[in-house]
Amino acid sequence: MFRSALLACAVLAALLLSCGERAERSAPSVARTASAAEAPAGAHEIVVFATQSLRPEFLALAQRYEADHPGAKVTLRCDGGAELLKAVNEGQRCDLVAIGDSSLMSRFAAGALLESGSAAELARNRLAIAVVAGNPKNVRGLADLSRAELRVALGAPSSSIGRYSRWVLSRAQLEVVPTLLAPHADGVLARVASGEVDAGLVYVTSFVDATVEKVEIPEEANTPVLYSIAVTRRAVEAGGAAAFRSLALGEVGQSLLRAAGFLPPASGP
């Protein structure tokens, strides 16, 4: 177990060094391509944990996997990354995990929770500002979020979107006191959509609600969000998990992610 943890951490460290300062905060893996994995024959169940911002795409992938493999069942849990890590540490079953936060995936690796060599970069994302439809407060950029009269929602400090949001604000040397905190980006978006707040920081891929509008953050002021996927070391259905991983990293999964606005991994899927 100790050797597995050291190997996983070394792999993560190598990628962090290769990606430069911005990617150091976000890159969790080195594998760039999907190797083919054959699904088990007959009935089997895979338990997949995915960060909340991947929910629509992983629901579609679960349906595709079940259609491709009669008798297969994919049980999908989507939640904030910190909650998923807590669940795995508590011993809850998880065969495959997909996280959009390098610091959390590093903690999975450091805890010897990942199958050696299975971690791979899945996709990339970035942040944007969500505002109420019509943008009545005339929010044009990050600097506006520090206006005293503006009600702002941020992700909780322990959440992935909360950490990324604070990195962006810190780089811009902005102090923003949130009116509300949410456990994930979908929660932030819901606060904006309901009118409880005027604006919030979410992922570019979060915008599926017509009652909010998007204000872009320039690339030079943004931060990369790198998603990774891995089979867990204690997977009950390791073969099925590996096959689902291949599906996500392959043409089907990558097409779904691109259609949703995710960016490809650094060297392609």
Q: Which of 27-36, 123-132, 200-209 has the lowest mean pLDDT?
A: 27-36
Inform me whether the pLDDT recorded for 33 exceeds 70.
Answer: no
Given this model, what pLDDT does residue 208 score? 80
Sorted by where each starts, the structural domains of the chain and their CATH numbers stand as 2-124+227-259 (3.40.190.10), 127-221 (3.40.190.10)
Inform me whether the pLDDT recorded for 30 exceeds 80.
Answer: no
CB 264 within 8 A of CB 249: no
Q: pTM of the prediction? A: 0.81
Higher pLDDT: 169 or 11? It is 169
Query: In sequence order, which ranges of the chain are alpha helices (DSSP H)?
Result: 2-24, 55-68, 81-89, 102-110, 160-171, 185-194, 238-249, 251-259
Inform me whether the pLDDT recorded for 98 exceeds 60.
Answer: yes
Inform me whether the pLDDT recorded for 9 exceeds 50.
Answer: no
Given this model, what pLDDT does residue 161 score? 95
- Percentage of the chain beyond pLDDT 70 is 85
Given this model, what pLDDT does residue 226 score? 93
CB 28 within 8 A of CB 121: yes
Cα–Cα distance measured from residue 129 to residue 136, given in angstroms and rounded to the nearest whole number: 14
pLDDT in tens, 168-185: 999 999 999 999 999 999
Distance (Å) of CA 14 to CA 23, 27, 226 = 12, 10, 15
Inform me whether the pLDDT recorded for 94 exceeds 60.
Answer: yes
Given this model, what pLDDT does residue 245 score? 97
Determine phi and psi for 162, rounding to 5 degrees: -65, -45
Given this model, what pLDDT does residue 20 score? 32
Measured in whole angstroms, the distance separating CA 110 from the mean position of its chain's CA atoms is: 19
Given this model, what pLDDT does residue 267 score? 56
Q: Which of 23-37, 45-59, 85-99, 111-125 has the lowest mean pLDDT?
A: 23-37
User: What's the average model confidence in pLDDT over 30-45?
Assistant: 72
pLDDT in tens, 210-244: 789 999 999 999 999 999 999 999 999 999 999 99
**What is the pLDDT confidence band of residue 86, given thresholds at 50, 70 and 90?**
very high
Measured in whole angstroms, the distance separating CA 134 from the mean position of its chain's CA atoms is: 28
Q: What is the mean pLDDT of the chain?
A: 87
